[in-house]
Each structure stands twice: as structure tokens, then as C-alpha cells.
Amino acid sequence: MIYSEQQLLALVETGDVVQESEIETLFNKLRPVSAKLMIGSWIPGPYVETGHPGVQELKEAGWDGKTFYSEDHVAPVMSKNRDGTRAMNEKFGLAVLRPMEFRGVLSVAMIYDNLPIIDHFRYVTDDIIFGIMDTKMFPKENGMLYFSLKRSTM
């Protein structure tokens, strides 16, 4: 693991509110990730608390990560049902994975089929991915929504 990856993990794992500029600087230093590595089920890592309202929306939706079945079939928002089972949240539809340049780095991005959302991913470890949600669904002054994903062992 390189130094910026270690810094990012340490910062996020505190659970403290952090400045978006601090997270942005570290995110921009992360390495790209391939679509092949993303295939499988991923659960949320610690929430990145920058004050972005999307974090609360994810919590209210019972966000339980993402499932990447293939490059062309992604369940972008998995939620926990009341009985504890995990299912695709139909409100958010499906998505695809595609290579995309973002902030000068060519990495994989997840593009929602029916919503104006692109999630850009960067590599931390084989089992931890860091993401940033680029969307028009929130006012620009809210900044970007940063999140982490951990590979599910289930």
C-alpha cells in the first residue's frame, strides 16, 4: 500500500468530519482500478463524513453496497431489507462499468442507466475501493460525495 492509500484509510476510519479538500487531495493520488477487480459484491466501508447530504440519503435507503455482476450488469445500490436480506434497490435501477478519465486518471467508472450519476473508482487494496459520486442530483455547492467499499466475503 502506498502512503496516500494509508493516509486515506486512516482519515476515513476515524469517523470524524473531514474537509472535502483533504479527501480530494488523497483521492487524486490513488491508483486506477480495473473493471475485472470490481466484479463481485461490495459492502460499504466507513462513511466519508464531509457534510454531503447524500450520506444521509444512503443511510435512509439502507445502503448496503453495490454488486458488480459484469461490466454490463451492475446493481449500483444494494439495500438491506427488514428481514436482513440484501437486495437491489429498484429506485436506483441498473448501471454499467466503463473506463473513463477523471481528474487525469483513466480508471473504471460506474454509469447509472437512468439517473445522472457517475461513480468514479480508485484502488486502495484488492479488497478496498474508494469512490466519488459525480451527479447533478445535488447542488454544486454540496461538493462531491466520497465513499469507500469493501469486498464482501459472503
Give tens-digit pLDDT for 52-89: 888 888 888 888 999 999 999 999 999 988 888 999 99
Give mean pLDDT, residues 5-22. Answer: 77
Q: CATH homologous superfamily of domain 3-151?
A: GXWXG domain (2.40.128.580)
Q: Both ends of the chain: CA-CA distance in Å?
A: 25
Give CA separation, 34 vs 18, 45, 105, 140, in Å: 28, 19, 12, 28
What per-residue confidence (pLDDT) applies to 128?
Answer: 93
Cell readout for 61 is 435507503
Give CA separation, 98 vs 5, 43, 113, 150, in Å: 23, 20, 12, 20
Q: What is the pTM of this model?
A: 0.90
What per-residue confidence (pLDDT) applies to 3?
Answer: 60
Cell readout for 37 is 477487480
Helix (H) or strand (E) holding 59: helix 53-60
Torsion, Cα of 106, 111, 116, 117 (10° steps): -70
Within 8 A by CB and 6+ apart from 5, the residues are 30, 123, 124, 125
Give tens-digit pLDDT for 87-146: 999 999 999 999 999 999 999 999 999 999 999 999 999 999 999 999 888 877 778 889
